[in-house]
Amino acid sequence: MRYLVTGSAGFIGFHVAKRLLADGHIVTGIDGMTPYYDIRLKEHRHAILEREPNFRACRIMLEDSDALNSAAEEAHPEIIIHLAAQAGVRYSLENPRAYIDSNVVGTFHVLEAARELAVRHLMIASTSSVYGANTKMPFREIDPADHPLTMYAASKKAAEAMAHSYAHLWKIPTTIFRFFTVYGPWGRPDMALFLFVRNILLGLPIDVYNHGRMERDFTFIDDLVEAVIRLGGAAPVAGQPASAEDSLSPVGPYRVVNIGGGAPVNLMDFITEIEVALGRRAERNYMAMQRGDVPKTAASAQLLETLTGSRPRTPVKIGVAEFVGWYRDYYKV
C-alpha cells in the first residue's frame, strides 16, 4: 500500500515509517526538520529510512499548503498517518504560537489533502494530555475531555474536533490516537528518560518534579508502532461500533483510541530502572509540580484490545534497558 507519513524524521514517525517499509509498503515521509531539538538526530533518522528504495523524503512545513498538496498528490497515498506536531507540554508555556501553527493550521492542511485525495483511512496522532483536568482513572475515550491544561493539549483537542467535522462532512474514515508517554530508542531529547540518562552519565543532577509523586502510563515505542499498524486495518465505519465502549461518532466514520497499556508506573520506580540499566545512582533534585502538568495518567486499553487483539505490555525494565543500550551506542558513552 501507499502511505504518507508526516513527521517521519520525528521519534514516533521514524519508527512507524521504518516498520511500514519493512512490511513492504511504499512510504512518502514529510518533515519540516524544525530545530525544537538537535536537528542532527532527525537527519540521522531520515538517513536510515532513505536507505530503503520505497521511501521518499520531502522537507516540507505543514503550514505551507501548496508544498504539502504537491507532495501529497505525487505520493497519492491510500492511508495518511499524521504524526507531525509541535510536541512538549513545558515548551508550550514558552512558545504557544508554535502549537497553533503546527498542530492547528498544519492539521487543517492535512485534512484538506485527505479530502482532496479521498484517502481510505486518515490516522492522526493526539495525546493523553487532552484529558487535562480529568481525575477519573483510567482515562476512557468515551469520557469528556473538555478541560485541557496547556496550549499543547488544547491544540491537540482542536485538531481532534476539526478531524471529526471532516469525517462527518466528507465521510473520511478517521482514527485519532491518544498516545501515553511514549519512550524508547531514538527518543526525543526533551523527554524525561533522555534527560535522566544524559545527566546521570554526565554526573549531573536530575530534576524530579512534584517530589517524585507522579505516575505515568509509559508506552514502549515497539508496542505503539504495533498498535498503529493494527489500527490501520481497522478503519471506523459509521454505524458499526465495535463494542459498548467504542468512541465511534454517531454522525461519521470517526473514532478515538488510547494507545497505552493501562499500567501506570511510579516515577521513582522508573528512575530506579534507569539507575539499574546504567549501573549508576542519580543525584536527585526534587522540585514542585510544573504548571500544566498532572500527577497521574492511566489509559483504558479496552477499546484498543477490542480493535486489535493486543495492548502495550513491554515492562519498563526492558524498555528502559533498550533505550540505554541505544543511547550508549549512539553517543559512544
254 is catalytic: no
C-alpha 262/C-alpha 297 separation (Å) is 9
Grid look-up 487543517 returns 108
C-alpha 72/C-alpha 115 separation (Å) is 11
Confidence of residue 132 (pLDDT cuts 50, 70, 90): very high
Confidence of residue 312 (pLDDT cuts 50, 70, 90): very high
Q: What is the pLDDT of residue 292?
A: 87
CA atoms within 13 A on the CB side of 278: 24
Of 257, 297, 302, the C-alpha closest to 139 is 297
Taking the model in full, what pTM does it have?
0.97
C-alpha 119/C-alpha 86 separation (Å) is 24
Residue 89 has pLDDT above 80, yes or no: no
C-alpha 91/C-alpha 45 separation (Å) is 23
What proportion of the chain, given as a percentage, has pLDDT over 90? 95
For residue 65, count CB atoms less than 10 angstroms from its CB and return exposed for 0-12, middle for 13-18, buried for 19 or more: middle
Catalytic residue among 131, 152, 166, 183: 152
Taken in order of first residue, the domains within the chain and their CATH numbers are 2-183+218-259 (3.40.50.720), 192-215+263-296+314-331 (3.90.25.10)
Mean confidence (pLDDT) of the chain: 96
Q: What is the pLDDT of residue 289?
A: 93
Residue 91 has pLDDT above 90, yes or no: no
Give the model confidence (pLDDT) of 114-127 as tens digits: 999 999 999 999 99
Residue 262 has pLDDT above 80, yes or no: yes
* Cell (9 digits) for 267: 516515577
Give the model confidence (pLDDT) of 278-309 as tens digits: 999 999 999 999 888 999 999 999 999 999 99
Residue 320 has pLDDT above 80, yes or no: yes
Grid look-up 497505552 returns 260
C-alpha 325/C-alpha 333 separation (Å) is 10
* Cell (9 digits) for 179: 498516545
Q: What is the pLDDT of residue 54?
A: 98
